[in-house]
Amino acid sequence: MGAEDRLPRLLATASAIAANLLVGGEYDVLEAMTRGRQLSADDLQRAVEDFGVRLVRVPGSEWDHLDWKPVPRADPPTFDVSVPMWTEQGQCDLTLELRLIETPYQTYSVETRALHVVARRGRPRVSRPRAVPAQEPPPNRPTPDLYATPVPERWRPLLARIVHRLVIGDYEGLSRDGFLAYTDDPSDETIGIWIERYPGRLVDLPEEAWAFSNHARIEHEPNAWWVILDLWEEDGHSDLSLEATVRDDGSGIDVKVKDVHAL
C-alpha cells in the first residue's frame, strides 16, 4: 500500500475510533482521547441526548466517501473532517466535526471540534429534527430558524466587537484579552483558520444578523449559556459561524469563543 493510499486509511481509522466511542456513550473515554479539546464529555453527552435518537455505528463503507480537508500552513500536517452520524434509519443530520493531527509515530491524534445538527442543505440547526417541509430560500437570503432563540440585546455589543476583531484579523488580541476558550497564547491564531481559508471577505454584523443567532442555558452551570452566531460576508450571509459560551451574572458579561468553523 503506497503512502497516498495509507493516508485516507489512517485518517479514517482515527475518525472511526472517535465516532464509535461517541455511539457507545463512552464520553469520558472520548474526552480523554481528544484531551478535552473544544468539547468535554458533558458537552458530547448533552448534544447526543438533545438529538433524541439512538445512534448506531457509521457503516464501514462510508469512511471512503469523507472529505479530508488539509488545514493550510499547519505543522504538523492537520486535517478537518465532518462525519455524518447514523441512526437505525440511516444517515442523520447529527454531525461530528473532527480535527486530525499527525504524530511523530505516523498516526493521528484527534480533537472533537463540534457536534451539532447540520441540515442536508448545509445550514446548521440546533433544534431537534422536525417534520417541516424544506423551504428553499434565495441565494444569500436564508430565513432564520423559527425555533431558534436570538441572543439578548444586552450581549450584542460585546459579541459584535468580538466579530469585528475577527473581521480585521486581530486573532492575537482576542487571545491576549481572554476571549478564546482554549488558549491565552497570543501566538495561537487557530481561531482564524477557517476565516483565512474562506473565499469571501467577512464584514461586521448587520442588524439583521441577530435574527440568525441562537442561545440556550448550559445545564448545571449557573449564569452560563452557549451561543451560535452566523457570520456575514460582503454579499450577505456567509457559510461560517461562531460558537461561544456567555456568562452573565447581571453585573458583567464574559464571552469565551470556542470555535469559528464552516457550517
Query: Do 8 and 116 share a structural domain?
Result: yes
- Total of domains in the chain: 2
Long-range contacts of 172-177 (CB under 8 A, 24+ apart): 174/257
Query: Do 214 and 103 share a structural domain?
Result: no
**Confidence at 7, pLDDT banded by 50, 70, 90:** confident
Domain end residue (candidates: 81, 109, 125)? 125
Report the CATH number that the domain containing residue 114 is assigned in CATH.
3.10.450
Task: List Cβ neighbours of 52 (8 Å cut-off, separation of 6 or more).
Answer: 128
**Confidence at 125, pLDDT banded by 50, 70, 90:** very low
Residue 209 counted as domain residue: yes
Residue 134 counted as domain residue: no
Give the mean pLDDT of 63-88.
89
The span from the CA of 213 to the CA of 152, in Å, is 10
pLDDT score, position 123: 38
Q: Is 57 within 8 Å of 85 (Cβ atoms)?
A: no
* Cell triple for 132: 417541516
Query: Do 161 and 96 share a structural domain?
Result: no
Which of the residue ranges 29-43, 70-84, 162-176 would you say has the lowest mean pLDDT? 29-43
Structural domain that includes position 231: 153-262
Residue 145 counted as domain residue: no
Domain end residue (candidates: 125, 142, 161)? 125
Give the mean pLDDT of 224-252.
91
Residue 138 counted as domain residue: no
